[in-house]
């Protein structure tokens, strides 16, 4: 599997920008922008989106996966204006794109991955920054749309170098367990409830897959992410030992769990 190179990443620690966002084979388990990034995005810059035009769906084309990769690089990395930065961004996006395509294609045995996106029609994004519209655009059924939020749903026993969920136990547990990763929303579109909508859609997809137990990892001091997941129905299950986090060079994490009934009443 292609792995995104371990170059300096934008922190998602709410209290500090010094912590690196950890990357597991292209899966980033940090999910909410840093406090500094949120403060830089003023109320004037934030955009009130038209939710009637919003679609929360599984990605279905390479062009959408490419737009998704651009959004993830844009969200998870902290870039400075230096010579060659555009080439560097393109390189990172290409690596992310190849890794994402491979995961979604299901080339790894005993694992299933869905990329779930929040998208808006280009016609509804006139107040959006030109850079976001041009870089995160894709075409679907003759319509140009913009990826404004994304996450991955991973059906697997565990994610590399992360705490493993305890439910369900027994034979076949790896087929009934799933993890969320790569959760991000374009910073201009935050505070519109997009992350919650993405999580809700992931529950539906997980239910259709026969998933009974859904997990997400979150940094211990990332209050914004913890609040999001608790509001979505996750509860605490376990946490990573401090020595393990230091050894793996990533923020210490909590593991949050949610049960997915087979006959969910949505």
d(CA 150, CA 148) in angstroms, rounded, equals 7
Query: What is the phi-psi region of residue 10: left when phi exceeds 0, alpha when psi lies from -120 to 50, beta otherwise?
Result: beta
Q: Which of 77, 215, 229, 264 is catalytic?
A: 229
For the chain, what is the radius of gyration of the CA atoms? 18
Helix intervals (H) in the chain: 35-40, 62-76, 85-105, 130-135, 194-209, 223-232, 242-248
Q: Given the structure tokens 């920054």, which residue do they identify?
A: 129
Strand partners, 113: 154
> Which is nearest to 152 in space by CA: 41, 237, 69, 47?
69
d(CA 188, CA 46) in angstroms, rounded, equals 5
Q: Is 179 assigned a catalytic role?
A: no
Backbone angles phi, psi at 125, to 5 degrees: -120, 30
Q: Given the structure tokens 């909508």, which residue do they identify?
A: 197
Backbone angles phi, psi at 245, to 5 degrees: -65, -40
Give catalytic residues, as residue numbers.
229
């Amino acid at each position: 599997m292609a792995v995104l190179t371990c170059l300096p990443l934008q922190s998602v620690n709410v209290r500090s920008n010094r912590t690196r966002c950890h990357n597991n084979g292209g899966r980033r388990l940090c999910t909410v922008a840093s406090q500094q990034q949120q403060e830089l995005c003023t109320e004037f810059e934030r955009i009130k989106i038209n939710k009637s035009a919003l679609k929360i769906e599984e990605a279905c084309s390479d062009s959408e996966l490419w737009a998704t990769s651009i959004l993830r690089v844009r969200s998870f990395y902290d870039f400075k204006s230096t010579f060659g930065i555009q080439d560097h961004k393109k390189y990172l996006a290409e690596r992310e794109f190849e890794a994402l395509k491979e995961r979604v294609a299901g080339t790894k045995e005993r694992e299933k991955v869905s990329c779930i996106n929040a998208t808006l029609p280009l016609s509804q994004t006139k107040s959006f920054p030109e850079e976001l519209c041009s870089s995160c655009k894709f075409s679907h059924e003759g319509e140009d749309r913009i990826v404004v939020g994304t996450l991955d749903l991973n059906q697997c026993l565990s994610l590399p170098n992360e705490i493993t969920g305890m439910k369900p136990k027994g034979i076949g547990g790896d087929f009934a367990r799933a993890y969320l990763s790569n959760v991000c929303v374009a910073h201009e579109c935050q505070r519109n409830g997009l992350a919650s909508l993405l999580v809700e859609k992931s529950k539906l997809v997980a239910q259709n897959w026969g998933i009974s137990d859904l997990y997400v990892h979150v940094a211990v001091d990332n209050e914004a992410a913890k609040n999001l997941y608790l509001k979505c129905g996750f509860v605490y299950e376990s946490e990573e030992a401090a020595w393990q986090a230091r050894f793996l060079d990533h923020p210490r994490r909590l593991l949050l769990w949610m049960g997915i009934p087979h006959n969910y009443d949505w």
